[in-house]
Structure 1
Amino acid sequence: MNITKLTEEYISGHPSIRDCVAKGLVNYSALARQICREHKIDRFDAVLIAIRRHFLKLKESETQEKDILRLLKNVKIRIRNRILVAIMDKPKDMERVYVFQKKVKREKGDFNLIEGEDTLTLVTNSKYVEEVKESFKSWLIKCSENLVQIAILFDPEIESTPGVVNHVYGLLAEKGINILEEMSCWTDLMIIVDEKDLAGAMDVLSF
């Protein structure tokens, strides 16, 4: 029997106990006796050690969460609406894509390209939808219009703060907001969501 796993699962399965452990409000010895009694095991010392180790993990997690929230309060948000996302097979010759990119940039439009092993994801303005469908029709897999790009601009401190992006994604997921595409560049995180989810996303991102 893995005492550490049993103890952690017991605490995780009792949110009220978990909160009290995180706040240092639990008598560890009493909790160890309770776990031993409920699971009919005679391993008091091992359970007590597991509780103390789990408490240290929770304290570290709490400190990390504070660092994340402090960092999130300083983010800047930029929104671009009427965004188009085109998913296509990756061609052997990218020249046609680069020609289109130059045209969009020349017209001061938005253009981002995510290159996978076998596919490309092209992010640009919805006004180019007909041109995208015509220029890349032999490669096109899927084309979605009228989306929203949300750019979240962090302080450079994000490099040394683990869990920030996961925290943001978790908050969005709790609101039922689906991230259609994502891109990142150093301190910038860009996500694509459906236009109907913009208000909910902004509510979540108002730290």
Structure 2
Amino acid sequence: MSQGKEKNSIAREVAKWLDKQPYIRVCLAQHLVNYSSLARRVQAQLNIKNFDAVMVAIRRYSKTLKGVQDISTKLQRVLSNSRLEIRTGINVYVLNQGLSEYIKELSGYVHIIKGFEYYLLITDTELGSPFSKKHENLVEIRIKSPEEIESTPGVVFYIYEKLFERNINIIETYSCWTDTLILIQKNELVSALEALEELGVS
């Protein structure tokens, strides 16, 4: 293989790898990456010996990410203009049959989601009827964002990423227009609020 073809092949291989690394892509777009350190990591991951070719490929790739940087700025604006509401005592029930026998038990706060095989019933009521699975006494975090969230990619990704960094497990999550709702265990609430505060959500 000629030297030019080899470099083009390496560039494609590096770009393909970087496409699968969202955290690194964001840092590259914001010029927060040490190229030499990243090049050595890419070399190890892809078993490429030509360090210089990897460096060139990374620099070339980073120049294609201006759009990511622009989106990141817009994303941060959406998050900083979002507000939190907290609701405790939420129960989640997985039902494998119709809702008719449960309706008479329901009062107060109720959300119903229909999947392919099951219903998901989210409520502050404790059910006595049989169900397939339950999570009780959860906390609901409701993030109320501006309408701009509809045209801003990555908002939910950033939120989930922050919770993931703190090892917070999301029991259920769903959205209603500009509201993003996340259900977690009660003992993880403080850590979750700290994570969201780091994003500018309060």
- Residue 52 of structure 1 and its aligned partner are, at CA, apart by 5.1
Q: Which residue matches 2:49?
A: 39
Q: Which residue matches 1:147?
A: 138
| Cα distance, 1:205–1:24 mapped onto 2, change above 3 Å | closer
Which of residues 59, 63, 66 is equivalent to 1:56?
Answer: 63
1:178 aligns with 2:178: no
- Conserved in 2, the CA contact under 8 Å of 1:4 and 1:47? no
Name the TM-score, length of structure 2 as normaliser.
Answer: 0.73
- Conserved in 2, the CA contact under 8 Å of 1:75 and 1:152? yes
Deviations 1:76-125, CA, capped at 9 Å, x for gaps = 1111001111112133xx32344444xx1xxxx21111110111111111
Query: How many matched pairs?
Result: 178
Letter of the 2:115 partner, please give it: G
Which of residues 25, 31, 35 is equivalent to 1:23?
Answer: 31
Within 5 Å, give how 1:1-207 maps onto structure 2: 2-8=9-15, 9=17, 22-23=30-31, 39-40=49-50, 48=56, 50-51=57-58, 53-91=60-98, 94-101=99-106, 104=107, 109-125=108-124, 128-129=125-126, 132-133=127-128, 136-137=129-130, 140-206=131-197, 207=200
Identity over aligned pairs, percent: 29
Q: Which segments of 5 or more consecutive residues in structure 1 lack a partner in the other structure? A: none
CA RMSD of superposed structures (Å): 3.5
- Residue 145 of structure 1 and its aligned partner are, at CA, apart by 1.4
Query: What is the SS of the residue equivalent to 2:64?
Result: helix
| Cα distance, 1:54–1:22 mapped onto 2, change above 3 Å | farther
User: Which of 1 and 2 has greater Rg?
Assistant: 1
Q: Which segments of 5 or more consecutive residues in structure 2 lack a partner in the other structure? A: 1-5
